């Protein structure tokens, strides 16, 4: 079998350089029938510095050609811009148009908007016009609006109502409130008493909560600290209000306060009885801390416990 005929290297290198200048990559050149593979071209370039320089210049030229073509494609064209605006006015989404080859891509469109502020303004106006011409999914219906107000009055939230497939969604409700001030006012009027009823029933003065607060106080706490740490406890202002309006709660808390104070006094008495000349320096701060705590709990803010 005769050996394979070697490439006419000089002629082949000239053809490769011409194809690269035309925009082909080395992989694409290697796929052309009769051309050496990419591996062979790299081997030639390593062995021949002149060919390597020619390849480098050809690749740079091709990049410049591609960049110029892209810039030309992205240049503002009044006819294309007007056709693009017409498509937007007819309802086509911009995000879909920029994906089509006949229109500028997202970068090209942004370039048009930077170069031509008037085009940017017209594009925004075209998008607004298209939105205004879309049929409303939920045009205002007085019967449906009355149903929404009624259900809000009875404690349902707009978030929950928007999940009902038989009622308008959140976007439609917002649009109704914006376009119909009377509907918005009715919703607000229905929401206020519903919110008050919810707050009155949420975290009420139950026996379980009363026992938890009393246990916290017996361990050395107060109503103020119970409002912060006891699960389900309301604000301290609500606890003080319960002390005035709920006799059972007030009696339980007063009893817990008495047990707490007795515990603190017993602790102080035990420390005082155990004091010796050698331990007085260490026991004095402990007695002072208990005395301060008793003063805080008995005095408190505005005569309440601390």
| Pair of tokens at residue 298 | 């008995």
In a domain, 2, yes or no: no
φ, ψ dihedrals at 266, nearest 5°: -65, -40
d(CA 107, CA 255): 75
pLDDT of residue 125: 92
| Whether the Cβ atoms of residue 89 and residue 124 lie closer than 8 Å to each other | no
| Whether the Cβ atoms of residue 252 and residue 207 lie closer than 8 Å to each other | no
pLDDT of residue 124: 92
**Residue 153's domain spans which residues?**
142-201
For the ranges 115-119, 134-138, 150-154, 162-166, which has the lowest average pLDDT? Answer: 134-138
Question: Based on the domain organization, do 165 and 216 belong to the same domain?
Answer: no
Number of domains in the chain: 4
Over residues 220-227, the mean pLDDT reads: 85
| Residue where a domain stops, chosen among 72, 93, 115 | 72
Higher pLDDT, residue 27 or 200 = 27
In a domain, 217, yes or no: yes
Higher pLDDT, residue 223 or 62 = 223
pLDDT of residue 24: 81
Over residues 77-94, the mean pLDDT reads: 89
| Pair of tokens at residue 120 | 């940017």
| Pair of tokens at residue 272 | 């005082």
Is residue 193 over pLDDT 50?
A: yes
Question: Based on the domain organization, do 243 and 294 belong to the same domain?
Answer: yes
CA distances from 11 to 6, 15, 17 (A): 12, 6, 10
d(CA 257, CA 264): 11
pTM value? Answer: 0.32
pLDDT of residue 203: 53
pLDDT of residue 251: 92
d(CA 289, CA 294): 9
In a domain, 4, yes or no: no
Over residues 160-189, the mean pLDDT reads: 86
Question: Based on the domain organization, do 215 and 128 belong to the same domain?
Answer: no
Is residue 1 over pLDDT 50?
A: no
Higher pLDDT, residue 16 or 297 = 16
């Amino acid at each position: 079998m005769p050996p394979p005929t070697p490439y006419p290297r000089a002629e082949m290198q000239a053809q490769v350089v011409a194809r690269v200048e035309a925009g082909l990559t080395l992989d694409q050149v290697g796929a052309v029938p009769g051309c050496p593979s990419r591996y062979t071209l790299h081997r030639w370039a390593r062995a021949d510095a002149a060919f390597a320089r020619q390849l480098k210049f050809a690749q740079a030229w091709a990049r410049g050609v591609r960049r110029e073509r892209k810039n030309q494609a992205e240049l503002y064209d009044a006819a294309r811009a007007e056709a693009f605006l017409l498509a937007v006015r007819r309802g086509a989404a911009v995000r879909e148009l920029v994906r089509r080859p006949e229109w500028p891509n997202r970068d090209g469109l942004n370039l048009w908007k930077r170069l031509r502020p008037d085009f940017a303004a017209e594009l925004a106006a075209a998008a607004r016009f298209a939105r205004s011409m879309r049929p409303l999914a939920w045009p205002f219906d007085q019967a449906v609006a009355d149903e929404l107000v009624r259900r809000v009055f009875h404690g349902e939230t707009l978030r929950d109502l928007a999940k009902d497939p038989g009622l308008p969604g959140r976007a439609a409700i917002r649009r109704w409130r914006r376009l119909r001030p009377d509907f918005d006012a009715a919703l607000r009027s229905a929401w206020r008493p519903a919110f008050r009823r919810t707050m009155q029933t949420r975290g009420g003065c139950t026996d379980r909560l009363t026992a938890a607060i009393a246990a916290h106080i017996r361990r050395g706490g107060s109503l103020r600290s119970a409002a912060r740490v006891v699960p389900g406890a309301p604000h301290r202002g609500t606890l003080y209000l319960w002390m005035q309006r709920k006799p059972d709660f007030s009696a339980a808390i007063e009893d817990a306060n008495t047990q707490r104070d007795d515990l603190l006094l017993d602790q102080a008495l035990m420390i005082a009885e155990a004091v010796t000349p050698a331990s007085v320096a260490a026991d004095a701060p402990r007695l002072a801390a208990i005395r301060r705590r008793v003063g805080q709990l008995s005095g408190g803010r505005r005569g309440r416990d601390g």
